[in-house]
Amino acid sequence: MKKITHFFITVTFFAAFVSACGTSQKTTVNHQVNGAHPTLYATLYQQFAAEYKALCYQAYSLADLRLKQALEKNYDKPLAIILDIDETVLDNIPYQAAAIKGDFGYPVQWAEWMEKADAEPLAGVVSFLQKASDLGVEIFYVSNRKETFKEATIRNLKDKQLPFADNDHVLLRQSSTEKESRRALIKEKFEVIMLVGDNLGDFDAIFEVTDATKRMNNTIENKNLFGDRWIVLPNAAYGSWVDALPGYNQNLPPQALSDTLKAHLKGF
The residues that touch Mg ion, with contacts defined as CB under 5 A, are 23, 84, 86-88, 198
Q: Kindly tell me which of 84 and 208 has the beta carbon lying closer to Mg ion.
A: 84
CA angle 145, 207, 73 (to 5 degrees): 90
Q: How near is the Cβ of 21 to Mg ion at its closest, in Å?
A: 6
Q: How near is the Cβ of 210 to Mg ion at its closest, in Å?
A: 18
Q: How near is the Cβ of 86 to Mg ion at its closest, in Å?
A: 4
Cα distances from 56 to residues 50, 87, 89, 109, in angstroms, run 10, 10, 10, 27
Cβ distance 237 to 16 under 8 Å? no
Q: Kindly tell me which of 144 and 258 has the beta carbon lying closer to Mg ion.
A: 144
Report which residue's Cβ sits closest to Mg ion.
86
Q: Kindly tell me which of 16 and 252 has the beta carbon lying closer to Mg ion.
A: 16
Q: How near is the Cβ of 202 to Mg ion at its closest, in Å?
A: 6
Count the neighbouring beta carbons within 10 Å of the beta carbon of residue 24: 24
252: left (phi over 0), alpha (psi -120 to 50) or beta: beta
Q: Which residues contact 180 (CB under 8 A, 6 or more apart)?
A: 204, 205, 208
Q: Kindly tell me which of 30 and 144 has the beta carbon lying closer to Mg ion.
A: 144
